[in-house]
Every structure is written in structure tokens, then in C-alpha cells.
Amino acid sequence: MNSHAKLFCWAVAISLAGSMPPGTLNLSVVNYMVNRNLPGAIVFSVTAIVVEVLLVRVSLSAVKKLEGLKPYYRLFGGITFVVLLLLAVNTLIPPAHAGHLLTGTLSFAGLPPLLAGIILSTINPLQLPFWIGWATALKSRKILEERASSYNTFLAAIGMGTALAFIAYGATGSYLIDFFEQRRQALSLIMGVTLLLAALWQLYNTILKCKKYPAL
């Protein structure tokens, strides 16, 4: 299989899997569709995807530059590990009194779809750690390469996977919400374990590279 096709398939699968558990973004799409606001759902979805792709692109560039500062790699790797670990713990230990999944989107329901898409995609706490962790894993397997064409394929696939998740939620509406809400605990476990593995992978890479650059 062509290297770009392989990367595209991997990234679409990861993006789709990461976007399927209920969150403020896909549930906002449901909210627009329930209220028969198809244009709003489209504007919101496109905006959220564009913001996600831009944030991931900026973060990849920032990570590359920080990795170039070899004496500070240990510090950067440690911070990334702690962030991923905290997100994993937060996911594995959900709040005791979690309300209905759609409740969190209601406070943004009155905003224009464009503005809501920008805000909700920007403040999504799992987005950047999730993709930084997976980018690190894909780079280690030589699937994601340090080339502009490889990055562009990666970003296009991220957008495609998220779009497929939005379409699934928009088409099925409350049925998909009910399906996932009944399996909230299992989904939290899966997402938490995924983040924990990403954290451990980051720790492993940090220790491995610190052996090459012991001086801080």
C-alpha cells in the first residue's frame, strides 16, 4: 500500500474512533438537527473541523521545534506525559453526578453556528493531547513522516474522520446518543486507557531520547 494511503487510512480510523464517543462537538450537531437547522449543523461542523485541523497543524509544528531544542526535550516530554496522565485519570474517574450528555451543549445553543464551532473546538481539552500522542506513535512506526505532504495527508484524514462522525450523529440523532449514553462507563474506560497508553508511550520516548541527550 502507498505510504500516503496507509497514513490516510490510519488517521481516518483514529479520528473516527476518537470522535464517536459523545462530546460537545458531535452532540451540538445532533442539537442542530433535532431543531431542523441543517444549515447551522453544516456551518458548525465545517468550522469545528477547520479549527481542529489548524490546531493540530500548529501543535505539530510547535512539537517539532521543541524537539529540536534537544537540551529541553526532557522537560517538554515530562510536561506532555503529565498532561496526558491527568486527562486519562479525569476520563477514568468521571464526575459522580454526570448529567445527560446533551446538557453541556445547551449553554452554547444561542450562539451563531460559526462562533459556537470556533469556541467548542478550541476549548476541547482532549483534542491536542490525543493527536500529539497518536502523531508520536505514528512517527515511531514510520507511518507519519517529517514531510509537508505527509502532514497534509494526516490533516486531511483527521478532517475526514471527524466529518464522518458528525454525519453519523446528524443522521441518527438521539438513537446514537442513547446508544452511547447506555455505555458511558465502557466508553470512558476505553478513552481513559487510550490516553493512559499514550502517556506511557510518551514517557518511554522521553526516557529513550534522554539517554541520547543526558545534559539538560
Task: Give the closest residue to 113 by CA, choosing from 183, 22, 43.
Answer: 43
Q: Tell me the pLDDT band of 89, cut-offs 50, 70 and 90.
A: confident
144-152 CB contacts, 8 Å cutoff, 24+ apart: 144/7, 145/3, 146/64, 149/4, 150/3, 150/4, 150/7, 151/57, 151/60
**Planar angle of CA 22, 26, 29, nearest 5 degrees:** 140
Cβ atoms of residues 44 and 50 within 8 Å: no
pLDDT tens by residue, 140-194: 788 988 888 999 999 999 999 999 999 998 888 767 666 666 666 766 676 677 7
Cβ atoms of residues 91 and 191 within 8 Å: yes
Mean pLDDT of 43-47: 95
Mean pLDDT of 27-35: 83
Extents of the domains making up the chain:
3-212
- Count, residues in the chain: 216
pTM above 0.75, yes or no: no
What confidence score (pLDDT) does residue 176 get? Answer: 66
Q: Tell me the pLDDT band of 69, cut-offs 50, 70 and 90.
A: low
